[in-house]
Amino acid sequence: MTLNRTDLGDLNLFRTIAETGGFRKAAAELDLSPSALSHAMRGLEARQGVRLFNRTNRSVTLTHAGRELLSHVQAGLDAIEGGLEGLNRYRDRPAGNLRINVPTDAARLVLAPILAGYMRQFPEVRVEVEINDHVIDIVQEGYDAGIRYGGTVPEDMIALPIGPELRWLAVASPEYLASAPPLTHPNDLKNHRCIGLRMGTGRIYNWELERGNEEVELSLDWSVIVIETILSLEIAKGGGAICYTLEDRVRTELETGELLHVLPEWSSMGPAFHLYYPSRRQLPEALRALLRSMQANRV
């Protein structure tokens, strides 16, 4: 059987629908209407004489034939994309689209310092960054790569460190501490207003503090629970409560005295940020160049 342009285009649409889990998500990623995708898939099924999707009002799933076809289509299109990406080696500089998904802290600390320079150096790369503190499937959502804290990257991904370990500490405003109960040990935090941070996995992060060989892990009676660092820092700077955060996020506030390191002998070192991407795909040249910029900035 000889593939024509329509078949190749429809097979790419088929892969996107299968990987995103439905017509609406695929339509949003491809900037097409769900009805157009449905029409294309019915045409593909009619030409092949095989039903590829089980369709109901609530869900779209692959048939057995659809699952078998998907494995071949993924391998074939990945090989084609790899061949096209390999052409970048013969160009003066990378080009094309680059989609990455990053949490708030990584956007501020990793991307913000280098992205303007990267764009000047590689003007033919179109970068799309989604800032999202929730854990997502980057393959299903159509991203080339993502950034997460080390130790939280899915096992089927390739993960590369993009900086040193990260230092975590508790901070509060001078106004809060002026009228707060004494603080001489992490266990004293139980008598204070503290901000809980709900992670992208859904769980609330326990505070970890170390001093020499002494380690303390705290699950407190949180006065407020948030899902982003920015809000927790604003609450802390306003004198509302104590915040647990990355030292790099509050370095300026600590230098100016707007925030103070609570229990200054206590902190905790955690895994570095890691850039990760699907193991079945080669690293695009545009992403390789971005990785070099991130690693150079975090040395």
Q: What distance in Å separates the CA atoms of residue 236 and residue 243, rounded to the nearest whole number?
A: 6
Which residues of the chain are under the pLDDT cut of 50?
none
Q: What distance in Å separates the CA atoms of residue 75 and residue 284, rounded to the nearest whole number?
A: 17
Alpha-helix runs per DSSP H in 21-94: 23-30, 34-48, 64-86
Question: What does the pLDDT read at residue 89?
Answer: 64
**Residue 76, SS3 per DSSP:** helix
Question: What does the pLDDT read at residue 92?
Answer: 59
Query: How far is CA 34 from each of CA 67, 112, 211, rounded to the nearest angstrom?
Result: 21, 35, 56
Question: What does the pLDDT read at residue 280?
Answer: 65
Contacting residues for 292 by C-beta, under 8 A, at least 6 apart: none
Question: What is the b/e burial string over 52-62, where b = at least 16 CB atoms within 10 angstroms of the residue's CB?
Answer: bbeeeeeebeb
Question: What does the pLDDT read at residue 2?
Answer: 65
Helix 34-48 vs helix 23-30: crossing angle, to nearest 10: 110
Long-range contacts of 81-84 (CB under 8 A, 24+ apart): 81/281, 82/281, 82/282
Question: What does the pLDDT read at residue 105?
Answer: 93
Q: What distance in Å separates the CA atoms of residue 141 and residue 143, rounded to the nearest whole number?
A: 6
Contacting residues for 202 by C-beta, under 8 A, at least 6 apart: none
